[in-house]
């Protein structure tokens, strides 16, 4: 693993895990009024397409990182819909 690979790995981990503080914040406050459902829906759809892209290209890093992202963003979308109704 050279410097560029390590950089790409850190970049991927940052982008992948970035939604976690938002999930925890909603989990604690149960408030989603200021959050855009459309933003997280489009993001989740895009990440789902990346998973399909990774499968078609047989690119395991793309499949793995985006599957984790997909899982986390689906939680976020569910939270927004669930707490918006409350």
- Give me the residues that bind a second copy (CB under 8 A), please: 3-4, 7-8, 10-22, 24-26, 29, 31-36, 38-40, 42-43, 45-47, 49-50, 52-53, 56-57
Count of residues in the chain: 86
Give the Cα separation of 62 and 12 in Å (integer).
9
Q: How far apart are alpha carbons 26 and 79 in whole angstroms? A: 7
- The two tokens of residue 8 are 């790409």
For a second copy, which is the closer residue by CB, 17 or 82? 17
CB of 67 vs a second copy, minimal distance in Å? 13
Least distance to a second copy, CB of residue 54, Å: 9
């Amino acid at each position: 693993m050279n410097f560029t690979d390590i950089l790409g790995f850190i970049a991927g981990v940052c982008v992948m895990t970035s939604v976690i503080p938002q999930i925890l914040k909603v989990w604690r406050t149960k408030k989603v009024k200021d959050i855009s459902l459309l933003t997280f829906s489009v993001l989740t759809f895009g990440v789902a397409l990346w998973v399909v892209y990774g499968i078609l290209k047989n690119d395991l890093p793309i499949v793995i990182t985006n599957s984790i992202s997909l899982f986390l963003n689906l939680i976020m979308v569910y939270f927004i819909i669930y707490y918006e109704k409350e």
